[in-house]
Amino acid sequence: MAETEENLAKIQVRVLHQDMIVTMIVPGDCQNIEATDIFRVLESHKIVFGIEHKEIEKHIQDKHFDKEFVAAVGKHPIIGQDARIIFYFDTNPKKPEPKKREDGSVDQHELAVFPHVDAQTLIAKKIPATVSKGHGFTVYGRELPSSDGKDCVLKAGANVKRSESGLEYYAAVGGAPKLINDTVMVETLYVIEGDVDISTGNIHYQGDVRIKGNVSSHFNLEATGNIIIEGSIEAAQIVAGGSITGLHGIIGGNQGSLKAGADIHIAFAESAHLEAKGSVYVNRLIRQCNVIAGHSIFCDREDGLIAGGHLQAKYLIQAKVVGTHLEIKTHLRIGNRPELESRLKLLQEKIQSLDAESVKNQQQIQKLAKMIQRLKADPERSEQQFQKTLTEFKDVRIVLAQAEQDRVKHCEEKEEVEKLLADDRAPKLSVGKELYPGVEMWLDHEFFDVKYIMTGNTITVVKREITVMGYMHTNQG
């Protein structure tokens, strides 16, 4: 029979967690209670949603009196997730710290670590917002509204391309990935606003670099692209895969160096090493430097003085003034025919040697092949001897294949050297004003030693003889 109203009134009902859970405790006095009694109690408390019928029926059946149990559970709204961006690079890089050596000390020169990605690298990915999957309800039946997730925007900036879905962002070129406001980009030019010194450490960057300050002594600056330095350069080592431009000069203290895969442009150079696969352009002064140019050296703007040191160019050295009245030793070498001829001779010797060696190897291969055939046909052959002969045969074939590869490489280089030797441009020294004693020069095979002050002339080689054009002899003193 049903439980009395007096006992039902003793049932404890608690509504928890912002009307989302209802718990009940049935006292031991309710020995005749049934599940329908519990449902009536809940209805009297206006609890209409999420009633746990099975849990209630089991609790009553098992007569778990004076124990709290969950009688009703509301439903939370399933809100859509907001869109988010996953970045595959550090969008807020920290200040670099000195690199620790194995002995525990630190290298103050190795600080800067610049983020770099190759072309086609995934740098960001957008996770789209999700939609709502339904509203919720409290145990009182009050609706809890839901909402879709909010979208977010990430724009593809310079050198960034998006996938067809629009969700992935890839680097279109190699460079430094950056996030500025809501735009992701890849910069090929890395700009340092100040000096390269202990605050930055050495710079190693894949791309172009622009330094708005100076480059201090004993620091390295390397870039695979071009380097532009707006300030001065001290005894630093600078290497560029492209060109190097120094808006001021370099005072190298016999330790500083510039090495470029293309050209070098600089205001002046003192006591430094300059090396370019292209040409070297210096505005006003080259003093006591070692300069090597794959093409030409120009120092013909402003005063355009070359004084002291060793300069080497393939085609032309051009300046306003070369040497000084103090007769400072200045060594010039223009033209590379001697080196090319030596290289050609060496390549020819190597090819001849490889050809002779190949003939011997081919004869050895034929001999070993016959031995292998005889051993195969001999039923009483020594297996050890057979394997030894087979191994030797394979080894000689490997040596022959490598020799053939080397020969192809040497022949290709030989053709390039022959093309360079076929270039009939004569090496030249062009001086706009004075050429002083103390200057010694080689033009290909020919040596020229300046004995007197010469003005406004071009010195070249014609049919292996030194020719001076526009010569004017000026008496010293």
Q: Which amino acid, 280?
A: V
Two tokens, residue 322: 């070369």
Distance between CA atoms of residues 91 and 86, nearest Å: 11
Q: What's residue 475's pLDDT?
A: 42
Alpha carbons 17 and 12: distance in angstroms, whole number? 17
Q: pLDDT tens per residue, the chain (477 residues)?
A: 577 888 888 999 999 999 999 999 999 888 889 999 999 999 999 999 999 999 999 999 999 999 999 999 999 999 999 999 999 998 886 655 555 556 655 455 555 456 788 899 999 999 999 999 899 999 999 999 999 999 999 999 999 999 999 999 999 998 889 999 999 999 888 889 899 998 888 888 888 999 999 999 999 999 989 999 999 999 999 999 999 999 999 999 999 999 999 999 999 999 999 999 999 999 999 999 999 999 999 998 878 999 999 999 999 999 999 999 999 999 999 987 778 888 889 999 999 999 999 999 999 999 998 888 888 888 877 888 888 888 999 999 999 999 999 999 999 989 988 887 777 677 888 888 889 999 998 888 888 888 888 887 777 655 556 677 654 444 443
| d(C-alpha 27, C-alpha 37), whole Å | 13
Instruction: Give the Cα separation of 338 and 424 in Å (integer).
Output: 14
Q: Are 315 and 296 in contact (CB under 8 A)?
A: yes
Bridge partners (DSSP) listed for residue 190? 209
- The pLDDT score that the predictor gives to residue 422 is 79
What one-character DSSP code corresponds to residue 340?
A: H
All residues at 6 or more sequence positions from 267 whose CB lies less than 8 Å from its CB, including other chains: 246, 247, 248, 249, 282, 283, 284
Distance CA 129, CA 148 (A): 8
pLDDT at position 471 is 45
CB atoms within 10 A of CB 151: 10
Cβ within 8 Å of residue 162, ≥6 positions away:
156, 168, 169, 170
Supply the Cα-derived Rg of the chain in whole angstroms: 43
Q: Rounded to whole angstroms, how far apart are CA atoms 102 and 355?
A: 50
State the Cα–Cα distance between residues 474 and 432, nearest whole angstrom: 14
Tokens linked to 94: 């920290």
Three-class SS state of 377: helix
CB 221 within 8 A of CB 109: no
Instruction: Give yes or no for a contact between 254 and 234, defined as CB atoms under 8 angstroms apart.
Output: no
Dig out the tokens for 386 from the structure. 């057979």
